[in-house]
Amino acid sequence: MGLGSHPHLSPTSSSNSKINCLMKGQKRICELIDLHQQQIPYAEAWSWQKEIVSQKKAMFEKEGDCTDTLIVLQHPPVYTLGTASSEDNFRFDMKNAPFDIYRTERGGQVTYHGPGQLVMYPIMNLRNYKMDLHWYLRTLEEVVIRVLSSTFSIQASRLHGLTGVWVGNKKVAAVGIRVSQWISYHGLALNVTTDLSPFSWIVPCGIRDRQVGSIKELLGEVESFTHSGAGTTVSHHPVVDDSALISITHKSLIQEFSQVFQLEYHSCAKEKKTKAYIDKATVEVIVGVAINVHKLIYLLLHNIFPSFIRQSLVEQ
């Protein structure tokens, strides 16, 4: 798939120098924030996306182009609504919702995110590809179709008039995007080992006459793994560990995404974002340890040491 270019870039040596920094050979550089083994709260990941979009807009305004970014992660259980969503598609009382609910600016209806579902949030400058939202949606679907075919020998397809990726009557991947000044965000969600029961409490994507599926469900029992230099292929039919299925699917998604969009991954964004995510947790742990140490010292001074030692310590 060929790469386009922004039609309004000035062909000066300065501009060309800046653009070359965003390319590696014939491929564009894509910053990869890979948190696929972590469950990131939806609100936090949503905030990251909007922050990155703002940064890319500023970068484009200043330099005439910007890098692409791909975030890969899982979410704790959550329902999200798109701009076309209706609360009629909930099969429960909104006041007693089983999970958090977020109304977002992405296109589409209501969907569920949860553990075992791989979510990809591409934040891309579509000026460098095609300034065509239908093309972009179909291309995201193509990534999933290739993953299912090449890695699992599952023949998936699109359905006319419907967004997403389907295997028979079952939707295995939902796609919902937002584009602001031709910078895309939100993206796709692929059910790998997902518990599908929360989908029964909504009308997924507003479609009442079809079902939701997962890779695990479609594979059923798997009998062998075939490892090759090009990747890992799962063919039918021992029981596959959930974490192994997630790992295999993730590897294939990353590979197919880079091939379809002709990208070269750069890991520095992953390191920075992961470091920021870990640092927050680290601070919480340190504070917790400090509090516990303080409590321990208090107990030693006031409950264990003999009174004369306690007095001696006080005098010192």
The active-site residue out of 21, 30, 205, 268 is: 205
Q: Is 183 left (phi over 0), alpha (psi -120 to 50) or beta?
A: beta
* Alpha carbons 176 and 212: distance in angstroms, whole number: 16
* Alpha carbons 187 and 206: distance in angstroms, whole number: 18
Report the SS3 class of residue 24.
Answer: strand
Task: Please confirm, yes or no, whether 268 is among the known catalytic residues.
Answer: no
Pair of tokens at residue 272: 């920075």
Q: In 240-291, which ranges are E strands?
A: 263-266
Among 26, 256, 226, 13, CA closest to 120: 256
φ, ψ (nearest 5 deg) of residue 70: -125, 120
| Pair 253, 190: CB distance under 8 Å | yes
Among 155, 181, 150, CA closest to 168: 155
The residue type found at 268 is C
Pair of tokens at residue 161: 């008039």
On the 0-12 / 13-18 / 19+ scale of CB atoms within 10 A, 70 is buried
DSSP state of 239: P
* Alpha carbons 207 and 137: distance in angstroms, whole number: 18
Pair of tokens at residue 144: 């999933």
Tell me the C-alpha to C-alpha distance, in Å, between residue 57 and each of 35, 311, 312: 24, 65, 65
Tokens 């798939």 belong to residue:
1
Among 114, 98, 136, CA closest to 4: 136
> What is the set of active-site residues?
205
